[in-house]
């Protein structure tokens, strides 16, 4: 381990230790909960877009399904919350498997179809029988409200998703995925089973936001179709991950921490113009740092490769 | 003896626009088979179909008599068939050695086998050994083609499909690639090559297929074409 790696691991350990004691400190618990939520989402998104090159514009659907599965199982079937969250992950993964044939599409066609599927799901959920999904009013989980426990669940999921990305990046699967992203035909000529490896990445990338959705539903104790299938979830996930540096392990973490902080700061200072200011900043950042923080750093200091990737 | 055989292949990229029409082809074991023809004849399409990159509308492909028409692309390398496409297929951001390691994908985690295979390629192409730490994208066009050929040989294939291995290369580099093909021929590796440099392809080939407008126009041994090669090429210019 060189000094850069040692420094990176020490920083990560310090960051995790801080997040662990956040509930004991006089700071905003929701702020750090959502920071971890966005880190988790950006890391998971990185697996399918950063490593495989597929842009799921309807990525929110996995998060949305996760929130509803947890809420419905707990409120209608009295399933304990941890089991309901686990079920969210399973059903989100099953949904990914069901829509896997769309992976045959590429580029903007895949993005559009995925976006359409998220919209269809939102309408479907809103129109389920009222006794099930609560219609457009949604479901409240006030009796299950445990912000502290759900905070630690999110911390655990964030660590798990970070380790998953690290494993994917360093494993044969990661090598296969990067080859598929760069040249799928060349990858298959080398003997890489493109559909199977792509599917593995897709299912991992779906499971994580589904679980995150379940935990977030528990934290807020309310779900409704407008929030659970809000396209801003996809947009922010993309921007945060992209800003940090897609295809790297550490990039989306940086991106989510920085951009979420910036987003929160702008929202606090410019409550009316926050989206405009944020949009301008994103344009500025993408124009001058199209590879994101990690990508730009990697280009300037190639020796950081083993830390960043 | 026929090792790779295609019968009555009809192939299309879109709908009913057939690029190959009822084409038949046979590669003999340990021999060099060249496919020549004018632009748009369907030469590269034939190679793609032979390697499973395009599924034929009709017809069949057999390897040592066994039907492989429906096999998936990633299975071909495990069957001992390597393919070097016409367009660049290296991974430019990876180093030369990393590109070669990818060529040993089917060896999984057998590190000794991977090392031996790469050493073998370095012996055959010392330039790759010298440049092993460089990003492959920084190699010249000829060096990249040598890297692609080297990578295709890592798994010890019995058949090599080469799509225009010397296209856009300087004559000196092209000569080096033809010399490599001569070496492979002497090692009894079956070679199927598509080439625009008809004269050089003719010199190295044992058997020649001429395609025109997606159809078999003529085929025969090199001796069969002696004296009528110029006439064949002239026909493409008319």
Model confidence over A56-105: pLDDT tens digits? 999 999 999 999 999 999 999 999 999 999 999 999 999 999 999 999 99
Mean pLDDT of B174-183: 90
**B36 pairs with which residues across the strands?**
B210
Cβ-based burial of A135 (10 A; exposed 0-12, middle 13-18, buried ≥19)? middle
Distance of CA A302 to the CA centre of its chain: 27
pLDDT score for B202: 87
Question: What total of structural domains would you count in chain A?
Answer: 1
Please answer whether residues A243 and A255 qualify as being in contact, where contact means their C-beta atoms are separated by less than 8 angstroms. yes
d(CA B166, CA B146): 10
From start to end of chain A, where are the E strands? Answer: 139-140, 222-223
Joined together, the tokens standing for residue A258 give 């920085």
Q: Collapsing DSSP states into helix, strand and coil, what is residue B108? A: coil
Sorted by where each begins, the domain ranges of chain B are: 2-87+159-237
CATH classification code of B2-87+159-237: 3.40.50.300
Q: What is the pLDDT of residue B236?
A: 76
Contact B105 A185 (CB under 8 A): no
- Mean pLDDT highest for which of A187-196, B85-94, B223-232? A187-196
Local confidence band at B9 (pLDDT 50, 70, 90 cut-offs): very high
Q: At what angle do helices A172-182 and A147-170 cross, to 10 degrees?
A: 70
- Token pair of A275, please? 């989206």
Residue A186 with chain B: CB contacts under 8 Å: 85, 89-91
Q: What is the mean pLDDT of residues B61-71?
A: 95
With CA atoms as reference, the chain A residue closest to B53 would be: A185
Q: Specify the higher pLDDT residue, B203 or A272.
A: B203
Which alpha helices (H) appear in B54-164, and where do they start and end?
A: 73-76, 96-103, 111-124, 126-130, 141-153
Mutate to test the interface with A, among B105, B109, B161 (most CBs of A within 10 A): B105
**Residue B184 contacts residue B191 (beta carbons within 8 Å):** yes
Q: In the prediction, which pLDDT does A308 show?
A: 62
* pLDDT tier for residue B7 given thresholds of 50, 70 and 90: very high
Whole-angstrom Cα Rg for chain A: 19
In sign, the C-alpha dihedral spanning A109, A112, A117, A118 is positive
Cα radius of gyration (chain B): 18
Q: Residues B105-146: pLDDT tens digits?
A: 999 888 899 999 999 999 999 999 999 999 999 999 889 999
Rounded CA separation B191/A71 (Å):
62
Tokens 């113009």 -> residue: A273
Express each pLDDT in A256-279 by its tens digit. Answer: 999 999 889 988 888 888 778 778
Domain of A18? 3-308
- Judge: B102–A194 Cβ closer than 8 Å, yes or no: no
Q: In the prediction, which pLDDT does A57 show?
A: 93
What is the Cα–Cα distance from A21 to A18, expressed in whole angstroms?
A: 5
Q: Rounded distance, CA A69 to CA A190, Å?
A: 41
pLDDT of residue A305: 66
> Chain A partners of B53 at a C-beta cutoff of 8 Å?
185, 188-189
How many of the other CB atoms lie within 10 Å of CB of B48? 24
Give mean pLDDT, residues B193-209: 90
Which residue in A182, A183, A190 is closest to B105 by CB distance?
A190
How much is the pLDDT for A234? 94
**Interface contact B91-A179, CB threshold 8 A:** yes
* Burial of residue A277 (number of CB atoms within 10 Å: 0-12, 13-18, 19+): middle
On chain B, the residues whose CB falls within 8 A of the CB of A172 are 108-109
| B30, pLDDT greater than 70 | yes
Q: With an 8 Å Cβ cutoff, are B85 and A175 in contact?
A: no
Look at residue B105 and give its three-state secondary structure. helix
Kindly give the parts of chain A with pLDDT less than 70: 1, 302-309
Contact between A61 and A119 (Cβ < 8 Å): no
Three-state DSSP class for residue A106: coil
Residue B229 has pLDDT above 70, yes or no: yes
Share of chain B above pLDDT 70, in %: 99
Say if residues B63 and B81 touch (Cβ distance below 8 Å): yes
Q: Which of A49, A169, A64 is nearest to A110 (CA)?
A: A49
Within 10 Å of residue A271's Cβ, how many Cβ atoms? Answer: 8
Q: What's the confidence (pLDDT) of residue A1?
A: 63
Mean pLDDT for B230-234 is: 79
Residue with tokens 């008809």: B198
When the pLDDT of each residue in chain B is averaged and rounded to a whole number, the result is: 91
Helices (H), chain B: 43-50, 73-76, 96-103, 111-124, 126-130, 141-153, 171-186, 198-204, 222-225, 229-237
For chain A, which residues lie within 8 Å of any Cβ of chain B, measuring from their own Cβ?
172, 175-176, 178-179, 182-183, 185-186, 188-194
* Pair of tokens at residue B174: 């092209």
- pLDDT score recorded for residue A247: 86
Query: Would you say A74 and A144 are in contact if contact means Cβ atoms under 8 Å apart?
Result: yes
CATH number of the domain to which A188 belongs: 1.10.3470
**How far apart, in whole angstroms, are the C-alpha atoms of residue B48 and residue B67?**
16
- Taking contacts as CB-CB distances below 8 angstroms, the residues of chain A near B85 are 185-186, 189
Hey, how many other C-beta atoms are within 10 angstroms of the C-beta on A159? Answer: 16
> Tell me, what's the pLDDT at B144?
93
Torsion, Cα of B98, B104, B108, B110 (10° steps):
-90
Q: What is d(CA B11, CA B20) in angstroms, rounded to the nearest whole number?
A: 5
Whole-angstrom distance, CA of residue A157 vs CA of residue A89: 11
CB contacts, 8 Å: B111 with chain A:
none
């Amino acid at each position: 381990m060189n000094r850069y790696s040692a420094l990176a691991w020490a920083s990560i350990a310090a960051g995790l230790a801080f997040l662990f004691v956040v509930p004991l400190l006089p700071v905003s618990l929701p702020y750090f909960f959502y920071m971890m939520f966005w880190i988790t989402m950006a890391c998971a998104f990185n697996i399918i877009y950063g490593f495989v090159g597929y842009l799921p514009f309807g990525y929110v659907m996995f998060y949305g399904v996760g929130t509803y599965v947890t809420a419905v199982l707990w409120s209608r079937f009295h399933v304990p919350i941890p089991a309901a969250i686990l079920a969210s992950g399973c059903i989100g993964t099953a949904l990914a498997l069901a829509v896997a044939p769309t992976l045959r599409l590429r580029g903007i066609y895949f993005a559009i179809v995925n976006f359409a599927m998220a919209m269809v799901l939102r309408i479907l959920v809103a129109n389920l029988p009222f006794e099930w999904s609560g219609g457009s009013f949604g479901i409240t989980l006030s009796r299950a409200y445990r912000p502290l426990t759900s905070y630690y669940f999110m911390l655990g999921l964030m660590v798990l998703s970070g380790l998953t990305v690290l494993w994917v990046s360093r494993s044969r699967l990661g090598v296969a995925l990067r080859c598929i992203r760069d040249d799928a035909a060349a990858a298959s000529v080398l003997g890489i089973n493109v559909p199977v490896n792509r599917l593995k990445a897709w299912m991992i990338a779906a499971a994580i936001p589904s679980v995150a959705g379940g935990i977030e539903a528990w934290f807020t104790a309310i779900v409704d179709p407008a929030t659970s299938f809000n396209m801003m979830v996809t947009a922010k996930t993309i921007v945060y991950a992209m800003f940090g540096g897609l295809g790297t392990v550490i990039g989306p973490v940086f991106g989510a921490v920085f951009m979420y902080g910036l987003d929160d700061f702008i929202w606090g200072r410019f409550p009316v113009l926050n989206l405009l200011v944020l949009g301008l900043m994103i344009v500025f950042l993408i124009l001058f740092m199209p590879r994101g923080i990690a990508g730009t750093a990697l280009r300037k200091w190639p020796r950081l490769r083993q830390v960043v990737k | 003896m026929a090792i790779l055989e295609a019968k009555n292949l009809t192939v299309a990229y879109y709908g009913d626009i057939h690029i190959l029409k009822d084409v038949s082809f046979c590669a003999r074991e340990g021999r060099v088979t060249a496919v020549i023809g004018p632009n748009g004849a369907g030469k590269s399409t034939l190679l793609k179909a032979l390697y499973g990159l395009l599924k034929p509308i009709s017809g069949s492909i057999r390897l040592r008599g066994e039907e492989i028409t429906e096999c998936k692309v990633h299975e071909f390398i495990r069957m001992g068939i390597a393919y070097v496409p016409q367009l660049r297929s290296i991974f430019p951001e990876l180093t030369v050695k990393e590109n070669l390691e990818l060529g040993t994908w089917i060896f999984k985690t057998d590190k000794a086998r991977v090392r031996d295979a790469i050493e073998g390629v370095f012996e055959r192409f010392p330039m790759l050994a010298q440049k092993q730490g460089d990003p492959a994208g920084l190699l010249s066009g000829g060096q990249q083609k040598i890297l692609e050929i080297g990578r295709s040989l890592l798994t010890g294939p019995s058949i090599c499909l080469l799509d225009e291995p010397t296209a856009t290369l300087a004559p000196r580099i092209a000569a080096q690639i033809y010399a490599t093909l001569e070496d492979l021929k002497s090692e009894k590796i079956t070679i199927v090559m598509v080439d625009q440099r008809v004269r050089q392809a003719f010199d190295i080939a044992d058997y020649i297929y001429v395609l025109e407008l997606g159809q078999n126009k003529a085929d025969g041994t090199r001796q069969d074409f002696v004296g009528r090669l110029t006439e064949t090429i002239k026909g493409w210019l008319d």
